[in-house]
C-alpha cells in the first residue's frame, strides 16, 4: 500500500511541474486535455489486497487555478497520503493491524505454563526469577564434570609419562596440577551447594507470606484440606535442601564422562552406555517395589498413630470406668502390625540396596576386565585403562542416583502444581475497600450460608435488622447455624444467597482491617495466644497494661484475678494456658472483645464457662455498651442473657422460626417445647428447599 501511495504522489508532482512550466504560455498548452488525461490516470481505482480506494478528482481545482493566472506560483496541492491515510485508518483491516501486538511469552513462561498451568501466581514469578541462578548451577555442574575428566587425564599422564619414564620431576609436576584440580573442584562444588540452598530460600521468601495468608483464610472459613499449603511448600523446597536437584544436574552432565570414555576407546564407551542403561532400568523397578512396601507400612502406621491420639484423649474416661485394658489390647495389636510391616520393609529395602550395590561393583569389574583386555592387546595404554575405569565408576554412580532423586523432583512438581493453583485462586484475607467507622446498622435479608466442600445449606433464609444501641440475641438448638451467622456478619464466611448490609453498604466475605478495627469479636471456644495477658487483651496492639486494657479487663470482671497473677498483666500465657482456668480464659477473651470500645460487638456464647459473678459482669457490660450506642449481636441459649436483648432471632435446623421481642420469642420457645402443634412465628420468613447446592467456594474460585 505504501508503494501505491508513493506512486500516486509522484504522478501529482509530475502534473504540478508540467503546469508550472507552461505558466505564461497558455496558448501553447492544452490544459484541458492534459488535465483530463492525468485526471483519468489519477482517478483510476487502486487495487491492493482487495482494497479499492477512490482518489478524489483534482482536475477541477487545477482548471480553476489556470483560469485565474496568479502572479505567484500556486501552493502545492496536498499529498495523496493526506487523502489515502484517513481512508486506510477508517478501514477495519487497517484498524486491526494497527492494534498493539500482544507480548509473546518467553521460553521460561511457556515451560512454567506447561508444567504448572496457565494461571499466573506468585510461585511462577519466584520460579522465573530463579532461572539465572539455576543456569549458574548448570554451568557449575558442567565445570565440575570437566574437572573430573581432567583428573582422570592427570592420572593417565602420571602413569604413562612419570611412571614409565621413572622421572620424579614429571611426577611432581602432574601431582601439583592434580592438587590444583582438586582445589578447584572443592570450590565449585561448595559454591553450587550454597547457591542451590539460597535459591530455595529465595523462593520461600517470596511466597511464604501468600501461603500463610491462604491457610489463615481457610482456617477462618473452616475449610479443611488433605494437603496443606505449608506442606506443599516444604515438599517444593526439599530438592533444594536435600541436594536432589544437584544430583539431577549431575545426571544431565554425565554424558561428558561417557564422551571421555568414547574418546579413550569406542568399545569401552559402548559397554559403558549399555551398563548404565541396565542399571537405570533395574533401579527403577526396585524403586517401584519399595514404594509399595512403604505404602503398606504408612497405612498401618497411620492407623496406629490415630488410635494412639484417640486413646490419649479418652484415657481419663476409660480409666474411671475401669475399661482401659480393652483399648490397650487394641493399641498393642495395631502397633504390632505396624512394627511387623516396618521390619519387613526394612529387610526388603536392605536387600534391594545390597543387590544394587553388588550390581554396580560387578559392572565395574566387568568394565575393568574389558579395559585390561584392551591394554593387553596394546590398543589401550595403562594410564588410559585406569582413567577409563575411574570415569566409568563416576558416570555409573551419577546415572544410578537420579532414579531416587527423580522421585523427589516429581513429588516437588506435584507440590508446585497444587501451590500454583492455591496461589492463583486465593483471595486476599484483607480487603482494599476503605470503610469509615460504622454506625452499626445491620440489615440482613434472606441470608443463606452453605458448608464448604459440600454445598449443604447451614442457614436458609435468615432476616433481621439491628441498629446502634441495640442488642440482638441469636438462639436455637445445637447445629442450627448460630455461629455461622455470626461469622458471616463479621465478614469471615462467604454468603451463598441473600445479603448483609452495614450502614447501607454490602458486606462481602472479607471486609478487612479498615472495618475490623471497629469490631469486637468473641469466637466460640475462646482461646488465647502465647504472650502476656495485656497482649492478649489488646490483640498484640500494646504490650503494657494501658488504661484501655485495664478498662476492658474490668468490664469483663477479669481485673481482680489478673492482678493476682505472678506478673499481673505482664504474665506470660503458655500454649496450654495451664496457669488459667477455662472461666478465666473466657473473661480475658471477653476483655479482648471489649477493648478499645468497638462500635460492633459480636459475641459467640459469651456466658460459656462463667460463674454467677462472671455472668452478672457480662450483663452489666451489655447494658453499658448499649448506653454507649454500640451494636451488640450475641449467640446464647440462657434465658437471663436473652432477657436483656432488644431483639431475639430463633434458628432451628438452619431456618428462622421466629424473631421479635424476647418475651414473645421465649413464649414461642416454651409453647414449642410443651406442644407438638406448630404455631405461627412472630415474623414468618419465606422458606427455601433443602436441596443440595453447588459449593459456594467452588463458585468463588471459578
Low-confidence winner among 56-70, 251-265, 534-548 (lowest mean pLDDT) = 56-70
pLDDT value of residue 104: 55
pLDDT value of residue 516: 74
pLDDT value of residue 271: 93
Residue 354 has pLDDT above 90, yes or no: no
What gap in Å lies between CA 412 and CA 408, rounded to an integer?
A: 6
pLDDT value of residue 349: 78
Give the residue among 457, 405, 464 at the shortest CA–CA distance from 656: 464
Count of residues for the chain? 702
What gap in Å lies between CA 460 and CA 685, rounded to an integer?
A: 10
What count of Cα atoms within 13 Å lies in the side-chain half-sphere of residue 137? 24
| pLDDT, average across residues 576-594 | 82
Residue 153 has pLDDT above 90, yes or no: no
Residue 328 has pLDDT above 70, yes or no: yes
Angstrom distances, CA of residue 236 to CA of 76, 208, 229: 72, 12, 10
- The pLDDT confidence band at residue 608, using thresholds 50, 70 and 90, is confident
Helices (H) and strands (E) in the chain, counts: 28, 14
pLDDT tens track for 389-410: 999 988 888 877 655 667 778 8
Query: Who wins on pLDDT, 513 or 168?
Result: 168
pLDDT tens track for 97-124: 444 444 456 677 778 777 887 777 788 8
The three cell numbers of residue 585 are: 480464659
Residue 622: which residues within 8 A CB-CB, separation 6 or more?
A: 471, 632, 634, 641, 644
pLDDT value of residue 697: 37
Cβ atoms of residues 435 and 506 within 8 Å: no
Q: Across the chain, which distance is largest between two alpha carbons, in Å?
A: 136
Give the residue among 352, 338, 326, 650 at the shortest CA–CA distance from 480: 650
pLDDT value of residue 229: 79
Low-confidence winner among 13-22, 216-225, 663-672, 685-694 (lowest mean pLDDT) = 685-694
pLDDT value of residue 248: 84
Other Cβ atoms closer than 10 A to 203: 22
What gap in Å lies between CA 267 and CA 374, rounded to an integer?
A: 9
pLDDT value of residue 31: 42
Residue 649 pairs in a beta bridge with 474, 659
pLDDT value of residue 95: 41
The three cell numbers of residue 213 are: 495468608
Angstrom distances, CA of residue 632 to CA of 133, 239, 536, 599, 624: 56, 52, 21, 8, 11
| pLDDT, average across residues 566-588 | 79
- The pLDDT confidence band at residue 568, using thresholds 50, 70 and 90, is confident
Residue 675 has pLDDT above 70, yes or no: no
Low-confidence winner among 31-45, 463-477, 506-520 (lowest mean pLDDT) = 31-45
| pLDDT, average across residues 632-655 | 89
pLDDT value of residue 70: 46
With cell 550454597, the residue in question is 194
pLDDT value of residue 575: 54
Low-confidence winner among 42-56, 199-213, 261-275, 276-290 (lowest mean pLDDT) = 42-56
Give the residue among 431, 432, 463, 434 at the shortest CA–CA distance from 447: 463
pTM here? 0.58
With cell 497520503, the residue in question is 81
- The pLDDT confidence band at residue 645, using thresholds 50, 70 and 90, is very high
What are 71-78's contacts with CB under 8 Å, separation 24+? 73/20, 73/23, 74/20, 76/16, 77/12, 77/16
pLDDT value of residue 164: 72
What gap in Å lies between CA 648 and CA 635, rounded to an integer?
A: 10
Cβ atoms of residues 662 and 645 within 8 Å: yes
Specify the 3-state DSSP secondary structure of 298.
Answer: helix
Query: Who wins on pLDDT, 219 or 349?
Result: 349
Cβ atoms of residues 504 and 666 within 8 Å: no
pLDDT value of residue 274: 92
Residue 319: which residues within 8 A CB-CB, separation 6 or more?
A: none
pLDDT tens track for 264-282: 899 999 999 999 888 888 8
In order, the DSSP letters of 68-104 are: H--SSPPPPPPPHHHHHHHHHHHSHHHHHHHSPPPPP
Amino acid at each position: 500500500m505504501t508503494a501505491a501511495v508513493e506512486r500516486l504522489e509522484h504522478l501529482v508532482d509530475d502534473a504540478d511541474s508540467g503546469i508550472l512550466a507552461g505558466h505564461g504560455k497558455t496558448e501553447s498548452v492544452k490544459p484541458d486535455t492534459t488535465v483530463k488525461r492525468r485526471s483519468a490516470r489519477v482517478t483510476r481505482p487502486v487495487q491492493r489486497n482487495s482494497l479499492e480506494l477512490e482518489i478524489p478528482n483534482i482536475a477541477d481545482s487545477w482548471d480553476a487555478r489556470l483560469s485565474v493566472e496568479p502572479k505567484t506560483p500556486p501552493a502545492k496541492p496536498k499529498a495523496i497520503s493526506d487523502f489515502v491515510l484517513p481512508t486506510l485508518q477508517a478501514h477495519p483491516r487497517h484498524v486491526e493491524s494497527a492494534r498493539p501486538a500482544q507480548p509473546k511469552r518467553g521460553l521460561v513462561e511457556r515451560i512454567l505454563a506447561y508444567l504448572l498451568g496457565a494461571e499466573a501466581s506468585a510461585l511462577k514469578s519466584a520460579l522465573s526469577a530463579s532461572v539465572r541462578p539455576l543456569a549458574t548451577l548448570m554451568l557449575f555442574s558442567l565445570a565440575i564434570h570437566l574437572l573430573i575428566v581432567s583428573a582422570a587425564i592427570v592420572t593417565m599422564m602420571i602413569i604413562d609419562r612419570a611412571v614409565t619414564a621413572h622421572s620424579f620431576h614429571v611426577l611432581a609436576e602432574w601431582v601439583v596440577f592434580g592438587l590444583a584440580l582438586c582445589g578447584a573442584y572443592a570450590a565449585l562444588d561448595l559454591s553450587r551447594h550454597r547457591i542451590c540452598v539460597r535459591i530455595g530460600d529465595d523462593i520461600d521468601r517470596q511466597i511464604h507470606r501468600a501461603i500463610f495468608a491462604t491457610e489463615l483464610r481457610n482456617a477462618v472459613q473452616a475449610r479443611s484440606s488433605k494437603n496443606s499449603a505449608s506442606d506443599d511448600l516444604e515438599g517444593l523446597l526439599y530438592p533444594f535442601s536435600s541436594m536432589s536437584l544437584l544430583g539431577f544436574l549431575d545426571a544431565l552432565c554425565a554424558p561428558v564422562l561417557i564422551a571421555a570414555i568414547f574418546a579413550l576407546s569406542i568399545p569401552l564407551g559402548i559397554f559403558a552406555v549399555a551398563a548404565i542403561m541396565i542399571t537405570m532400568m533395574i533401579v527403577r523397578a526396585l524403586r517401584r517395589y519399595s514404594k509399595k512396601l512403604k505404602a503398606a507400612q504408612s497405612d498401618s502406621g497411620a492407623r496406629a498413630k490415630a488410635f494412639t491420639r484417640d486413646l490419649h484423649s479418652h484415657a481419663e474416661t476409660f480409666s474411671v470406668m475401669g475399661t482401659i485394658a480393652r483399648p490397650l489390647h487394641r493399641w498393642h495389636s495395631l502397633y504390632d502390625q505396624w512394627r511387623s510391616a516396618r521390619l519387613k520393609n526394612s529387610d526388603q529395602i536392605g536387600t534391594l540396596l545390597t543387590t544394587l550395590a553388588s550390581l554396580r561393583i560387578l559392572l565395574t569389574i566387568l568394565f575393568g576386565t574389558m579395559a585390561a583386555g584392551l591394554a593387553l592387546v596394546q590398543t589401550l595404554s595403562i594410564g588410559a585403562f585406569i582413567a577409563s575405569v575411574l570415569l566409568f565408576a563416576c558416570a555409573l554412580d551419577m546415572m544410578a542416583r537420579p532414579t531416587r532423586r527423580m522421585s523427589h523432583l516429581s513429588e516437588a512438581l506435584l507440590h508446585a502444581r497444587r501451590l500454583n493453583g492455591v496461589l492463583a485462586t486465593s483471595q486476599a484475607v484483607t480487603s482494599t475497600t476503605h470503610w469509615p467507622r460504622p454506625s452499626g446498622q445491620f440489615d440482613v435479608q434472606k441470608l443463606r450460608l452453605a458448608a464448604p466442600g459440600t454445598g449443604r445449606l447451614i442457614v436458609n433464609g435468615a432476616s433481621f435488622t439491628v441498629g446502634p444501641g441495640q442488642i440482638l440475641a441469636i438462639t436455637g438448638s445445637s447445629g442450627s447455624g448460630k455461629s455461622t451467622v455470626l461469622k458471616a456478619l463479621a465478614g469471615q464466611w462467604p454468603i451463598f444467597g441473600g445479603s448483609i448490609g452495614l450502614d447501607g453498604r454490602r458486606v462481602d466475605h472479607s471486609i478487612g482491617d479498615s472495618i475490623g478495627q471497629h469490631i469486637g469479636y468473641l469466637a466460640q471456644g475462646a482461646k488465647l495466644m502465647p504472650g502476656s495477658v495485656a497482649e492478649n487483651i489488646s490483640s498484640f496492639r500494646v504490650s503494657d497494661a494501658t488504661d484501655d486494657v485495664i478498662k476492658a479487663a474490668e468490664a469483663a470482671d477479669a481485673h481482680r484475678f489478673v492482678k493476682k497473677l505472678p506478673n499481673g498483666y505482664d504474665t506470660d500465657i503458655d500454649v496450654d494456658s495451664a496457669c488459667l482456668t477455662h472461666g478465666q480464659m473466657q473473661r480475658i477473651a471477653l476483655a479482648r472483645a471489649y477493648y478499645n470500645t468497638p462500635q460492633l460487638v459480636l459475641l459467640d456464647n459469651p456466658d460459656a464457662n462463667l460463674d454467677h459473678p462472671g455472668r452478672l459482669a457480662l450483663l452489666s457490660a451489655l447494658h453499658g455498651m448499649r448506653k454507649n450506642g454500640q451494636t451488640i449481636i450475641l449467640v446464647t441459649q440462657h434465658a437471663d442473657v436473652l432477657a436483656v436483648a432488644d431483639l431475639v432471632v430463633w434458628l432451628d435446623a438452619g431456618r428462622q422460626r421466629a424473631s421479635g421481642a424476647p418475651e414473645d420469642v421465649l413464649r414461642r420457645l416454651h409453647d414449642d417445647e410443651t406442644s407438638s402443634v406448630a404455631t405461627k412465628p412472630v415474623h414468618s420468613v419465606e422458606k427455601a428447599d433443602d436441596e443440595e447446592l453447588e459449593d459456594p467456594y467452588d463458585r468463588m474460585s471459578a
